[in-house]
Amino acid sequence: GAVVSQHPSWVICKSGTSVKIECRSLDFQATTMFWYRQFPKQSLMLMATSNEGSKATYEQGVEKDKFLINHASLTLSTLTVTSAHPEDSSFYICSARKTENTGELFFGEGSRLTVL
């Protein structure tokens, strides 16, 4: 299998602060990682695709200056929610695809963000 780990698993912050979420592939190298957002009882919504060493590709409607994504190595991608507001509260999940894999995505445990 393949293990993807996220940190932190939950975070509570004050409105206006920035929060960084890390996503690591523990036993494989991931040239591509994906960041999703999920609201309660809803499906996953793709926010952006990040490729190691290049800029992330954001989905329509996702503010790139609000959600900063960095994929600086083959095992680490970070999502920074800048100047967080209560409406940014959500469950954020990352996923990674093995370099050699044909298409399977492996997901992290998710990070619950609550902005007060």
Partner 1 sequence: GQQLNQSPQSMFIQEGEDVSMNCTSSSIFNTWLWYKQEPGEGPVLLIALYKAGELTSNGRLTAQFGITRKDSFLNISASIPSDVGIYFCAGRLGAGNNRKLIWGLGTSLAVNP
Choice between 57 and 82, CB closer to partner 1 = 57
Residue that has been written with the tokens 């600086």 in this structure: 72
- The distance of closest approach from Cβ of residue 112 to partner 1 in the complex, given in angstroms and rounded to an integer, is 7
Partners of residue 59 on adjacent β-strands: none
CB of 57 to partner 1, least distance (A): 7
CA gyration radius, the chain: 13
**Taking the complex as a whole, how short is the minimal distance between the CB of residue 83 and partner 1, in angstroms?**
25
- The span from the CA of 31 to the CA of 22, in Å, is 16
Q: Which positions lie near partner 1, rule CB under 8 A?
A: 4, 6, 31-32, 34, 41-46, 49, 51, 57, 59-60, 91, 93, 95, 102-110, 112
